[in-house]
Structures are given as structure tokens and as C-alpha cells.
Amino acid sequence: MSSFAQRCGIHDVARQAALAQTVRLIDACGIEQVRFSWCDPHGNLRGKTLMAKAAAKAMSEGVGMVSTLLLKDSSDRTAWKVFESGGVADLPGFEAARNLLLLPILSSYKQLPWAHKTGWLLCQPWFQDGRAVGLDTRRILQSALARLSAQGLALQCGLEVEFHIYRIRQNGPGCAGDELDPNLAGWPGEPPSVDTVHPGYNLLSEAWGDRCHEALRIVQHTAQALGLPLTSLEVELGPSQVEAVFDVTDALTAADNMVLFRSAVTQALRRAGYHATFMCRPPFENIMSSGWHLHQSLVQISNGANAFMRNAPADGATPSDAQFTLSATGEHYLAGLLHHAPAMAALAVPTVNGFERFSANRLAPNSVSWGHDNRGAMLRVIGGPGDPATRIENRIGEPAANPYLYMASQIHAGLDGMAQGLQAPPASQSPYDGSAAQLPPALGDALAALARDDAMVEGLGLDFVRYYTHIKQAELLRFEAAQDKLAWQRREYFSRF
């Protein structure tokens, strides 16, 4: 009898060999538990932990998962009425909280450095009849990459991720113990009370870096033990704010790495008494917002050449022209990112909190603009003629974004710019002067922009856009109904993202 993986059409000789190799690794390392993990719509990992002896069978037969996990808003409330007739008429296969099955990507196997004798596998969901779940956000990125591949191109990404690390208070009101007091439980519950690990407002301070050395070493060792291409850890401007920088990889690997990095450092730091959060703007006064700067370039699949690089400026081009630095392909891609920026914001900035970052003169964008090595613009063009590292840095994203959706939005926007032959306006010298169109001021505005952007809807798929908008609207409605909006964000995001 065929296995579930075979019925899904993904099990072949190569997968059988990979399965056998993974089982050997589990046995050789004395692994006792294996986590089968899946990235939810919000970019957080969920899944089940199997005993090692059960893991081998699950790699072929799948692990059951309640389908409502795809239907949760950011508080873990199900955004559809799955037990009512017609409650999920727009989502066939999700009726009555039916089971889905997770099948692992065997090449993703890791041994977790912070959890004793524990292995980990990244998975994707399937319906019980063997159909892929198209709403899975990793598949959304895979579909976008397939569109690029059809044109002989691939996306390369480097990550710069700002986030906050705090030390958890062990005594007094709101300490770690109070957070777990069943009498204080909520949905979501209160996060722990914390102290900063450095006082901030001393950018790249070596002294401040030494004050948070212990926490940063945990981040370093965790990332390196997982094989993530971490290149640097830096003290950022805000209190307790740090940044991790990763070397360039293909886009799918970069997205997988981002999902694992956030989950891993959060868990490893927590065991040592720290609280890490990728919430854009933690709920404290005098704090600095965190961004996720996505460096990207297209490469030719045939030879690996950078499709954004040009050998010399275009005839007649001045430094304010995109084709002074970028190839024609690069300019069209850049113009596509600009043209679709409002819709893109719904995927790159998916929380109500993230839009608080868009303010002038804060190293964060607030307008739809680009510039040569200009950190105030939304898009920062880096490199120059003959530079194989020529690339576009998109500074719009927040660190809580689902990486698969963030990167997919870039591809669909860039491809439309290429298809239409869009031209970029002159580079901005003063991105905060108000002359350029402004980014959406709030999540609701970004969701509306996404819904009316035909090219983005076509690229992502109408069904997905409706599904995603439904989930985010549920979150937005609860936020708008909250009397204390700061307390709402503290519960909703600070301890969960």
C-alpha cells in the first residue's frame, strides 16, 4: 500500500534516501523527540512533538494537525465559524475543524542546541486526499519563485533584522511567576515584566554591546549551531534593541532561516531568563521601532550573474537616474516595488503596531521613494556599475512579518514592473520632505490597497488575498474595539511575536 507522501506525489527515490539518512541521524545522535513544525500565517512556528520511534513513520504518513490553525488571527481566535453551516463556504476542506496532515521537508532536519536530544523538521500541510494546501504561506512564496524561474531568474536575499532583548524580572509585580499565575490568565495573557539589557541611544556602542554580551552570545551560538548564515550582531539605537545580519542566500532558504531564527532565539533566550520580541515597537515610552531590511537581487539561473548589475551607466544617465546604477531589469523591478508599495505594506507590515514605525528622520521610511544609499528612503539602491553585489534594500518591513509573504510580495511587484516596463522616478535626496506619496498610515489602509491592486491579487491569488484579509480584519476589528490600545498590543504582540 502506498504511503501518504506517495499519494501526495512527493515521495521518490531521492526522498526515500533522505528519509533513511534522517532516521540514521536521529538514531546516531540519541534523539528522543522530534518536533514537526509548520509556519502559520503570522510567521510563527506551530506543530507537534513526536517520540523518535514514531518520527520515521510520520515522515511518510504525516502528522495530523487541526485545520483551524490556518484560520487563527494573531490572538489564536478562529476567524471563521467552522462549526456552522456555510461558515467556511469560501474555504472547502476546512469544515468542522477537519484534520490536515504535515509532511516534513527532510532537508530541513536540525538538532536543536537548546533542547536536550531534540530534533526539528520544517513541514508543509496537505489535505487528507493528498492535495497541497494552497493557503500555506511557504507555498505562496514557492509559487512566486516559480513565476520568476519561468523567466530564467531567481531571487537572492540578505537579511538585516532588528529586534529587542529584555531581561525578565524574577521578583516583584509582573515578574515571570505572575505571568504564569492561573488567576491572571487571559486570552492573550499578560507578558512578563522586563528590564532592558542596555540603556540605548548610543548606536553601535562597544560598552553597550558588552552589557548585553551574554544575551548576544546565546543568539550567536544558537544561530550557528543551527547552521544559519549569521554574519554580525550589533547594538542598535533604541534601549534593548539589537540587530542580526545574515549573509545572502536564495529567497526560500532565507525565508526558512528567518522563521527558524525568530523561534530559536526566543526559546533559547527564554531558558536563560531573557525575553526576545520581534514586535516592531514594544509597548514602552522612549523606545525605538525595529525594522526588517530585505536586501534583494535577481540572478540569472543559467550562470548566476546578477541581473541588476550594469557594467557602465546608461547613456546620458545621471546619478539621480536608476539606470546610472541598475540594469534595465533592475530599474523595472525597482519601479514595480514603488508602484505596488501600498499593497505590499499589508504583507511586509502585518500588524497594527508596525505602522507606528513610519515617521520622519527615524531611519525608517514614511514615503514611497528610493535613493542611492539613502537610509531614509523606502528603497535603498546599493552598489554601482561593475559591482556584482548591486542590490535593492527594501526598508519597509517589520521584523514580525511572515517572511514567505514579505518576499512573495517583492517578486509579484517586481515582475509586474518588468512586464510593464515601468520606469523609476528620479532618486530622492530628501525622502522626508513630503513630495512623494506617503505609505499607508495604518493596517486597514494597507489591506484596502492590497484588495484593489490587480497585479498583486493576480500574483498571490484572489483566494489567498481574501483569506489573508479576513484574518487581518479580525485582528484589526478587535484592536479598534479595545479601550486600552496599548494594553491590547502588549498582550497581542509583545509576548507572542
- Give tens-digit pLDDT for 359-396: 766 778 989 999 998 888 999 999 989 999 999 999 99
Is residue 334 within 8 Å of 426, Cβ to Cβ?
Answer: no
Please report the pLDDT score of residue 376 as a whole number.
Answer: 87
Please report the pLDDT score of residue 169 as a whole number.
Answer: 86
Identify the CATH homologous superfamily for domain 4-133. Answer: Glutamine synthetase, N-terminal domain (3.10.20.70)
**How much is the pTM?**
0.96
pLDDT tens digits for range 420-447: 999 999 988 888 888 888 999 999 999 9
pLDDT tens digits for range 315-363: 999 989 999 999 999 999 999 999 999 999 999 999 999 999 987 667 7
Please report the pLDDT score of residue 171 as a whole number.
Answer: 63
Residue range 142-153: mean pLDDT, rounded: 98
**Looking at residue 195, what DSSP letter applies?**
E
Please report the pLDDT score of residue 162 as a whole number.
Answer: 97
pLDDT tens digits for range 283-295: 998 899 999 999 9
Is residue 446 within 8 Å of 465, Cβ to Cβ?
Answer: no
The span from the CA of 275 to the CA of 495, in Å, is 8
**Percent of the chain residues topping a pLDDT of 70:** 98
Sign of CA dihedral 376, 447, 276, 35: negative
- The CA–CA distances, whole Å, from 16 to 11, 62, 81, 468 equal 7, 14, 40, 35
Angle at 106 between CA 102 and CA 108, to 5 degrees: 100
Residue range 173-191: mean pLDDT, rounded: 72
pLDDT tens digits for range 62-81: 999 999 999 999 999 999 99
Is residue 364 within 8 Å of 358, Cβ to Cβ?
Answer: yes
Residue 182 has pLDDT above 90, yes or no: no
Please report the pLDDT score of residue 408 as a whole number.
Answer: 98
Please report the pLDDT score of residue 421 as a whole number.
Answer: 97
Q: Which CATH number fits domain 146-494: 3.20.20.450, 3.30.590.10, 3.40.50.720, 3.40.50.2300?
A: 3.30.590.10
Q: Mean pLDDT across the chain, nearest whole number?
A: 94
Exposed, middle or buried, 209 (CB in 10 Å: 0-12/13-18/19+)? middle
Residue 180 has pLDDT above 80, yes or no: no
pLDDT tens digits for range 455-470: 999 999 999 999 999 9
pLDDT band at residue 197 under the 50/70/90 scheme: very high
Please report the pLDDT score of residue 480 as a whole number.
Answer: 94
Phi-psi region of 37 (alpha: psi -120 to 50; beta: other; left: phi over 0): beta
Task: Mean pLDDT check: name the lowest of 143-152, 202-211, 347-356.
Answer: 202-211
pLDDT band at residue 85 under the 50/70/90 scheme: confident
Look at strands 118-126 and 33-39 and give their pairing.
parallel
Where in the chain are the domains?
4-133, 146-494
